[in-house]
Amino acid sequence: MSSITFRPYRHDDLDALRAIMVDAFDGVSIDQGIERVHGPIHGRDWRWRKGRHLDEDIARDAGGLIVAEAEGQIIGFISTWIDHQAGLGHIPNLSLRPEWRGRGIGRQLIQLACDRFRAAGLTHAKIETLEQNAVGNHLYTDCGFREVARQVHFVADLRPNPESHAAKEPPP
């Protein structure tokens, strides 16, 4: 197996990280669910919307991104941010290239994120996933996270005659 290295985010990583994230979230993205029900919104597809989540992660705390590399190539990342007042470390996104999944790299990234939170004096970490993300649900539970709640997402079409604009594919 190739040697895996972990390092801080650099600005020139952005395009590679965005591509990895969009690929990793195919089938388990709220944005994709919105598009399945409503179609593209404002001329943008779910991939564009999901990619913007990375921009938000970087704007919030670029130092909270940890990049995984193998063979000189970026293979994945985890984004984090710290809420000192609430005492919580947040993990908004964890993504790996498909060919690198199932090798413990996601688990290592989660451990590095939790180490970062502990070093900042935090006592708890939070991560979210959709119910249909079986891999994420298993991994997060196995890493010590406990389910505390379930959430349902709703989106309303605000245009006149919204039925005429809706995508025809029903939600899963």
- The amino acid occupying position 57 is D
Report the pLDDT value the prediction gives residue 161, as an integer from 0 to 100: 80
Q: What CATH number belongs to 4-164?
A: 3.40.630.30
Percent of the chain surpassing pLDDT 90: 87
Computed over every residue of the chain, the mean pLDDT equals: 93
DSSP structure class, residue 1: -
Q: Is the pLDDT of residue 1 over 60?
A: no
Banded model confidence at residue 2, pLDDT cuts 50, 70, 90: confident
Residues 6+ apart with CB under 8 A from 83: 89, 90
| DSSP structure class, residue 103 | S
Predicted confidence at residue 159, as pLDDT, reads 87
pLDDT digits (tens, 9 = 90+) for 76-127: 999 999 999 999 999 999 999 999 999 999 999 999 999 999 999 999 999 9
Measured CA to CA, the distance from residue 83 to residue 116 in angstroms comes to 12
Kindly give, in sequence order, each residue whose CB lies less than 8 Å from that of residue 13, ignoring residues fewer than 6 positions away: 65, 67, 74, 77
Would the pLDDT of 163 be above 80? no
pLDDT single digits (tens) 127-144: 999 998 999 999 999 999
Which of 134, 141, 143, 16 minimizes the C-alpha distance to 68?
16
User: Are the beta carbons of 9 and 60 closer than 8 angstroms?
Assistant: no
